[in-house]
Amino acid sequence: MCAERRKNGSEAREEILTKVKRENVRFIQFAFMDIVGVPKMVSVPAKRLESVIDEGVAFDGSSVMGYATIDESDRRAIPDLSTFVVLPWENGLHKTGRFICDIYDTSGKRFEGDPRWALERVLHEAKELGYQCNVGPEYEFFLLETEQNGSPRLVPNDRGGYFDMMATDSGELVRKDTVNFLIETGADVEATHHEVSSGQHEIDLRYGDALSCADRVFLLKDAIKTAAKSHGLHATFMPKPFFGRNGSGMHVHQSLADPSGKNLFYDPSIKYELSDLCCSYMAGLLAHAKETCAVLASRVNSYKRLVPGYEAPVYICWANKNRSSLIRVPAGRGKSTRMEMRSPDPAGNPYLQFAVMIASGLNGIEKQMTPPEPVEKDIFRIPPKEREKMGIANLPESLGHAIACMEESKLVQDVLGKHLFDHFITVKLKEWDEYRSQVTSWETDRMINI
């Protein structure tokens, strides 16, 4: 499967070695993500690249969340040569190149706990069915002020609002630096702008195949953090850092294409100009929304964002224009026909997030599911009994609730595989148990005098 996508021939290898030498690259990072989406890497001096480019580098998986097994923890990071970039923010004696890697076990097989492998398996299934899976993530984040020692303060860096055009400030410079970084590495950016909340920003990646986009999200997070630090700021992907303000999401636009690139979601002859394939894909996303929620919104704080009143989805339905729905179909048609899933947030693992969404859509196609009619009015204003009559269910209200839904999901277990599934639930149950045992200032402020 990997061989279908990689440039693993001698030509690609020699191109990389030549580039490293020509640009005087000093270090090479072998990068990957842990189960919850935290970037990890092993760095080697560039002079060692020729000896490790084929075999990768070994590391101790017991130190990486979700990577150890009962019997062994030795892992090997093998570089995907097609992902090589020279990091534009490292120069001189620190100039660094990076591969995103696939993880193998000691027997030479792909490690089943590698999140990237979970996405690749789903994309292989889609390819066997004749589909190319395209996604376009809209990535939101907050920029915070910092203390003199560089630690973050819970203070937004500006007082701007949605699409505000302000005098050039550090926040805009962070966005511009990030875009320049991405362009230099060959990653396409669709647009950037200030978001609704003070100190909140958005960078939209260009539509592309799901694996490449997940790799770009990996790079994007690093680029944002680096750009923010260079301007004395701290970038956070925490979904809801401030009470009473909008949180940060990662809305994911999705579509399927045939091998020639034709958009399979478009059909001008039927209602809404959405093909039967598109409607079944959408129905799959809706049908599996509860059981995939723990992956798409994977932190306890994620569920502070998924509450009424802040443009984040709470109810499982779709619409063409209504931004309070879980899925929105933007106005573009023809090659631009797509749907936008609005529950994912930037704190998760993009490989797993894309995998469970695409698998849900494919399951909808396989079972020829049909979505309900769109809901074009503000769902937050519909009385609960009326919502119930309309068949509009709620997303899980907490991480604990979401984990309970996920535990019963055959689809998510099949997508992640037993190792990832079991480890993910174990890690998230620990997070939930630690969270729910805390005593907050909200409680003491209101109950200390009881």
User: For residues 404 and 400, what is the distance between their CA atoms, to the nearest angstrom?
Assistant: 6
The superfamily CATH assigns to domain 2-111 is Glutamine synthetase, N-terminal domain (3.10.20.70)
Write down the pLDDT at residue 376.
83
pLDDT classification of 7: cutoffs 50, 70, 90: very low
Q: What is the pLDDT of residues 262-318, one digit of tens each?
A: 999 999 999 899 999 999 999 999 999 999 999 999 999 999 999 987 778 999 999
User: For residues 175 and 159, what is the distance between their CA atoms, to the nearest angstrom?
Assistant: 16
Residue type, 358: I
User: For residues 119 and 359, what is the distance between their CA atoms, to the nearest angstrom?
Assistant: 9
Q: 97 Cβ partners below 8 Å, 6+ apart? A: 16, 19, 20, 25, 27, 28, 29, 46, 84, 85, 86, 87
Cβ–Cβ < 8 Å for 17, 99? no
Residue type, 345: D
Cβ–Cβ < 8 Å for 320, 376? yes
Task: Tell me the three state secondary structure of residue 75.
Answer: strand
Q: Given a cut of 80, is residue 404 above it in pLDDT?
A: yes
- Looking only at the bridges linking them, the beta strands covering 152-156 and 74-79 are unpaired
- The domains spanning 2-111 and 121-441 adopt the same CATH topology: no
Cβ–Cβ < 8 Å for 132, 126? yes
Query: Residue 75: beta bridge partners?
Result: 59
Please state, for a pLDDT cut of 70, what percent of the chain lies above it: 96
DSSP class of residue 110 equals: B
Average pLDDT over residues 397-403: 97
Instruction: Please classify residue 393 by burial: count the beta carbons closer than 10 Å to its beta carbon, then call 0-12 exposed, 13-18 middle and 19+ buried.
Output: middle
* 259, HSE (Cβ side, Cα atoms, 13 Å): 4
Longest distance between any two alpha carbons in the chain, whole Å: 74
Where in the chain are the domains?
A: 2-111, 121-441
Q: Choose among 316, 289, 291: nearest CA to 424.
A: 291
Tokens 């631009």 — which residue?
336
Mean pLDDT score across all residues of the chain: 91
Write down the pLDDT at residue 59.
86
Q: 240 Cβ partners below 8 Å, 6+ apart? A: 247, 248, 301, 302, 304, 305
Write down the pLDDT at residue 3.
42
DSSP class of residue 264 equals: T
Average pLDDT over residues 40-65: 88
Cβ–Cβ < 8 Å for 182, 216? yes
H or E stretch including 256? Answer: strand 250-257
- The sign of the CA dihedral 415, 420, 424, 426 is positive
Topology annotation, domain 121-441: Creatine Kinase; Chain A, domain 2 (3.30.590)
Q: What is the pLDDT of residues 214-269, one digit of tens each?
A: 999 999 999 999 999 999 999 999 999 999 899 999 999 999 999 999 999 999 99
Q: Given a cut of 60, is residue 170 above it in pLDDT?
A: yes
Active centre residues (catalytic): 60, 138, 140, 195, 202, 251, 323, 340, 342
Q: Given a cut of 50, is residue 2 above it in pLDDT?
A: no
DSSP class of residue 153 equals: E
Q: What is the pLDDT of residues 187-205, one digit of tens each?
A: 889 899 888 888 999 999 9
Average pLDDT over residues 368-392: 87
DSSP class of residue 263 equals: B
Average pLDDT over residues 173-182: 93
Backbone φ, ψ for residue 189 (5° rounding):
-115, 135
User: For residues 48 and 203, what is the distance between their CA atoms, to the nearest angstrom?
Assistant: 35
- Integer-rounded Cα Rg, in Å, for the chain is 22
